[in-house]
Amino acid sequence: MAFVTRQLVRSVSSSSTASASAKKIIVKHVTVIGGGLMGAGIAQVAAATGHTVVLVDQTEDILAKSKKGIEESLRKVAKKKFAENPKAGDEFVEKTLSSISTSTDPASVVHSTDLVVEAIVENLKVKNELFKRLDKFASEHTIFVSNTSSLQITNIANATMRQDRFAGLHFFNPVPMMKLVEVIKTPMTSQKTYESLIDFTKALGKHPVSCKDTPGFIVNRLLVPYLMEAVRLYERGDASKEDIDTSMKLGAGYPMGPFELLDYVGLDTVKFILDGWYEVDPKNPLFQPIPSLKKLVAENKLGKKTGEGYYKYK
C-alpha cells in the first residue's frame, strides 16, 4: 500500500510540475520598441542568445544607426570571445545581425511576437499610448514589459487589457556587459508571466532579481538617494566634490565617485527620476529637490554628454 501511495504521489507531483511548465511562455520571438542605447543593447543580447528580434523605432535613420551600433558592439564582444578564432567571431557577428530585423510600424510586427520590450522615452503618457495601441494588435499570449527605471509599472500596465501579462524588465547600461536584470511584478502580474520572464532573463545569460512595483525598484531606490546625499553634503560645504568622490572610491571601494557617476548617467535623467518620486511622495526627505542639480539641468549642463555637469569635460 505504501508503495502504491508513493507512486501515486510521485505521479501527481510529476503531472503538476509538467502542467506548470506547460503554462509558461517560452520566449523565442522578441519585439524591442526603441532603438536607443538600451533598446539596441536588449536587441543585441536577445539576438546573440538565439532569439528572433524585431527592433522598432520612428525612422529608418534611427534604426540604421542602431544596427550600426549593434554591429560595432558585437565586434568588440567577438574580439574578446573568439580571440583565437577570428573566423568564428565573424560568423557570430553575422549570425546575430541576421536575427535582427527592423520596422517603423510596431503594430504590424507584434501579432507574431512572444514578448514586447518597451525602451522609449520616460514619459507615462507616451508609454500608455504605445501600449494601448499595441494591445489591440498583439497575440493573446504576448507578454508586455517596460524597461522603465523610474515610472511605476502598474501605471503603464493600466493602459492595456493584459495586466496579468504585463511586468517590468529593468536592464542596466551597457546591456551587453551588465549582468543584472530587475524583474518587476505588479499585483496583477500572473505567476505564469513572472516565471516566463525569469526564464527569458536567464536565457539571455543575465542574473534576474525580483522586486515589487516600488519606486526605483532595488538599484535606483538605493543608488539615487545615495547620490543626492552626496550632493547635499557638497551643497552644505561639508566637503568638496573631489574629496567626496575620492572618499567613496578609496574608502568604500566604489569604481566611481557619486559626482563622476552623476555626470556619467546624465543629470537630466537623475533629476527626472527624483522629480517623479517627489511627486508621488513629497514628504519623503530622500526625495527632496536638489538646488544645484536643478540649476545645472536648467543650464543644459547635463554631464559628460554635454561636456559639463558637476565637472567639466574636454
Residues of each annotated binding site for NAD(+): 34-39, 57, 122, 127, 149, 173, 305
Distance CA 33, CA 298 (A): 29
Q: Binding site: what residues are annotated?
A: 34-39, 57, 73, 80, 122, 127, 149, 173, 305
Distance CA 244, CA 236 (A): 13
Q: Identify the three-state secondary structure at position 169.
A: strand
Number of residues assigned to the chain: 314
Q: Is 220 a catalytic residue?
A: yes
Residue 212 has phi, psi (to 5 degrees) of -75, 170
Q: Is 182 a catalytic residue?
A: yes
Rounded alpha-carbon distances, angstroms, from residue 167 to 83, 109, 146, 195, 209: 38, 20, 7, 11, 13
Q: Which of 149, 150, 196, 260 is catalytic?
A: 149
Strand intervals (E) in 25-174: 29-33, 52-56, 100-103, 115-118, 143-146, 166-171
Q: Is 98 a catalytic residue?
A: no
Q: Which of 118, 147, 170, 260 is catalytic?
A: 170
Q: Residue 54 forms beta bridges with which residues?
A: 31, 101
Rounded alpha-carbon distances, angstroms, from residue 134 to 56, 116, 130, 186: 12, 9, 6, 20
CB-based contacts of 276: which residues, under 8 Å, 6+ apart? Answer: 150, 151, 215
At how many degrees (to 10) do helices 241-251 and 258-265 cross? 100
Q: Is 149 a catalytic residue?
A: yes
Strands 143-146 and 166-171: what pairing? parallel
Handedness of CA 25, 27, 29, 35 (dihedral sign): positive
Q: Binding site for CoA: what residues are annotated?
A: 73, 80, 149
Q: Which residue numbers are catalytic?
A: 149, 170, 182, 220
